[in-house]
Amino acid sequence: MGDQTHFGYQTVDEKEKAGKVAEVFHSVASKYDIMNDLMSGGLHRIWKAFTIGRAAVRPGFKVLDIAGGTGDLSKAFARAAGPTGEVWHTDINESMLRVGRDRLLDDGILTPSLLCDAEKLPFPSNYFDVVSVAFGLRNMTHKDAALAEMRRVIKPGGKVMVLEFSKVWQPLEKAYDAYSFKVLPWLGSRIAGDADSYRYLAESIRMHPDQETLKSMMEDAGLERVEYHNMTAGVVALHIGRKF
């Protein structure tokens, strides 16, 4: 038996996790955006808008969007970076990448979409001004390796931005748990025809490091001046780390 890791509340062999996560996102890709709107009541758009604002991408910037999925961040970054910039829309899941690529093209955004693993980024060191990952880090098997790779590819003065579900404000925990484990799988069944994938998503949020733990992990990866911003009572948090 090899090294073990978690897949939601299950314990699985590390070599199996990537395939299991891939199955989840292959299943939900076509309904991903409508489910995001339903699950968050549209709040995911505000969370992403805040992240885009803090990225402060300017014309000519090089930006890497990891786990870019359906392309919301890549679209905004590409428009901000302009024709002199360079924005890479990447994902490890081919189904999500295809949906995102098609959406970007439909919106007139010509930017490269690349299938790649965040733990082994195929980019040179000190290349990007900004690296972002939105709602993708918690699905990675070796988060420390992924964070180290993100730091490697940013330029000195650049920043890594991690938007992810986090530890909700304690008085809201019971209500949040009831919503996550009852309402989300029901929505997944009714809208996406897949309750199990949304049950996994709820479990994966609970297994993800809390705000302070993730801050420490980013610091251990060599990022400096790490800060985080809680949104919606800690349902999500944006962590930002820099390289000097």
Binding residues: 70, 91, 117-118
Are the C-beta atoms of residues 239 and 209 closer than 8 Å to each other?
Answer: no
Please say if the pLDDT value at position 47 is more than 80. yes
Parallel, antiparallel, or unpaired for β 4-7 and 224-231?
Answer: unpaired
Confidence of residue 9 (pLDDT cuts 50, 70, 90): confident
The CA-CA-CA angle for residues 238, 241, 243, to 5°, reads 160
**pTM, 2 dp:** 0.91
DSSP 4: E
Residues 239-243, mean pLDDT to the nearest whole number:
98
Binding residues for S-adenosyl-L-methionine: 70, 91, 117-118
- DSSP-assigned states of every residue in 120-182: G--S-TT-EEEEEEES-GGG-S-HHHHHHHHHHHEEEEEEEEEEEE----GGGHHHHHHIIII
What's the pLDDT tens digit per position in 192-208?
888 888 898 889 999 99
25: CB partners within 8 A, 6+ apart: 32, 93, 95, 96
Pair of tokens at residue 77: 């970054």
Please say if the pLDDT value at position 82 is more than 70. yes
What's the pLDDT tens digit per position in 148-180?
999 999 999 999 999 999 999 999 999 999 999
Q: Which domains does the chain have, with CATH numbers?
A: 18-170+198-243 (3.40.50.150)
Orientation of helix 72-81 relative to helix 94-106, angle to 10°: 50
User: What is the residue-averaged pLDDT of the chain?
Assistant: 93
